[in-house]
Amino acid sequence: MAVGSSNDFDLVVLGAGTGGYSAAFRAAQLGLKVALVDEDKIGGTCLHRGCIPTKALLESAAFTERIRHAKDFGIEAGDPVVDYARMAARRDQVVKRMWTGLKTLVDKNKVTWIAGRGHLDGPTTVRVQMHGEDGTPGAGGERVLRGTDVILATGSRVKSLPGLNPDGNRIVTSDEVLLADSLPKDVIVVGAGAVGVEFASMYHDLGVAVTLLEYLPAVVPAEDREVSQLVERSFTRRGMTVMTNARFDVKSVKAGKDGVKLTVGPEGKEAAEISAELLLVATGRAPNVENVGLETTKAELDKGFVKVDGRMRTREPHLYAIGDIVGGLLLAHTAAHEGIVAAHVIAGDKDVHPIDYVEQPRATYCRPEIASVGLTEQQCQERGIPYKVGKVPFQAIAKAIIGGEYEGFAKVIGHKETDDTLGIHLVGPHATDLVAEASLAFQLDATPWEIGGATHAHPTLAEIVGEAAMAVDGRSINF
């Protein structure tokens, strides 16, 4: 604890998701006395209702699809039989294993874990309705925590379209999907952002008929346009029905015992009725800023999110906010990075670089996988930046051909005048792993020529990043 402090803790972290526990662990490593408060299990949405269970199911789905192509590798395996109940059990085992390991890190880092519903009572006081010994919420009375500093990390929740109310049965969100142990015959997915395309891809690979609806002109609309176009072509070629510019009145959605019906059509064209057993709403997330005591502080909201500076400081001295409640990219790894930045600022580190969201990697685990960091080509055009592009397909990479997955490409965008790296975009096999090199390149301010100049082992999928980087100046060796 800080010398002369009369507070219970140097730091109280309210919320134990990826951002919250990362902040708590790093602060403790920096010598602070830390309390970590949450009414749920450590790990938050990402571990228990998001990233990890979703990726476990996607891994099973991808494995199923790979078995279908076993004959291409000289193996007679027959058609795979999907046992979704066992897949769901494995999903839960993965989550439990990660959660068990995470709990041990609380003690390892000497962080005080406090189970209960916490809310701010002023900027540096947290009142906690404690869980009882049996885990019953609120049964343990109230505990008041006083910290020199507080980090608010209360995360987000799924949200639906206005007037479209999930019932947990026929109209569901990702929360319900990740608790299910059976598959529908067919599904309509509303929203083709990262969550929507991941579930659409998973369902299709497991034999479910999929209709994917997106209000905007492109699937994964935040990605580079060429990436979006390839993903839509891939989904369509695989047999999914993909509709962009999709318009429907939520009043047309009718849920019954046999499924869901709605009337939808592309913008400006005639609508038609479609139906499925299940309607999955994947239209984004809302920050958990209500009932956390923000009104007892000087912290401000901006479009519903807590307003912070690049070092995660609110307008209230000693109160910080991180993760989904501050907006940004609403990604677990970004929340962790924000938490680490806040921890270093609180610990008195004088050399803390502010968050730059352009340099944060983005990863989507549909098939083909999508990953990117930096600006898209369209953003370069909008900002009037002179740029040059190197683009190489996975078909030029031996390891991709060997693995039998070679759909997609790598695209590197460089500045025409300064040679700075502006953006790196990947769509294809293991793109979410390959983006790590791109993230490091941004951290080290590497130019495309420097990225391409680094030796990439052969044969590896990673070669595609080097090849695309050299292609920026027309010097790719293998394409």
Per-residue pLDDT of the chain (479 residues; tens, 9 = 90+): 443 345 799 999 999 999 999 999 999 999 999 999 999 999 999 999 999 999 999 999 999 999 999 999 999 999 999 999 999 999 999 999 999 999 999 999 999 999 999 999 999 999 999 988 888 887 889 999 999 999 999 999 999 999 999 999 999 999 999 999 999 999 999 999 999 999 999 999 999 999 999 999 999 999 999 999 999 999 999 999 999 999 999 999 999 998 999 999 998 888 999 999 999 999 999 999 999 999 999 999 999 999 999 999 999 999 999 999 999 999 999 999 999 999 999 999 999 999 999 999 999 999 999 999 999 999 999 999 999 999 999 999 999 999 999 999 999 999 999 999 999 999 999 999 999 999 999 999 999 999 999 999 999 999 999 999 999 999 999 99
318 is catalytic: no
Name the residue among 206, 226, 228 with its Cα closest to residue 217: 228
Alpha carbon distance 478, 153 (integer Å): 47
Q: Which of 337, 353, 456, 458 is catalytic?
A: 458
Alpha carbon distance 144, 157 (integer Å): 26
CA angle 461, 466, 467 (to 5 degrees): 90
Using a cut of 0.85, tell me whether the model's pTM lies above it: yes
3-state secondary structure of 237: helix
Alpha carbon distance 43, 15 (integer Å): 9
What domains can you pick out in the chain, each with its CATH number? Answer: 9-48+90-156+286-357 (3.50.50.60), 171-283 (3.50.50.60), 368-471 (3.30.390.30)
Alpha carbon distance 342, 346 (integer Å): 6
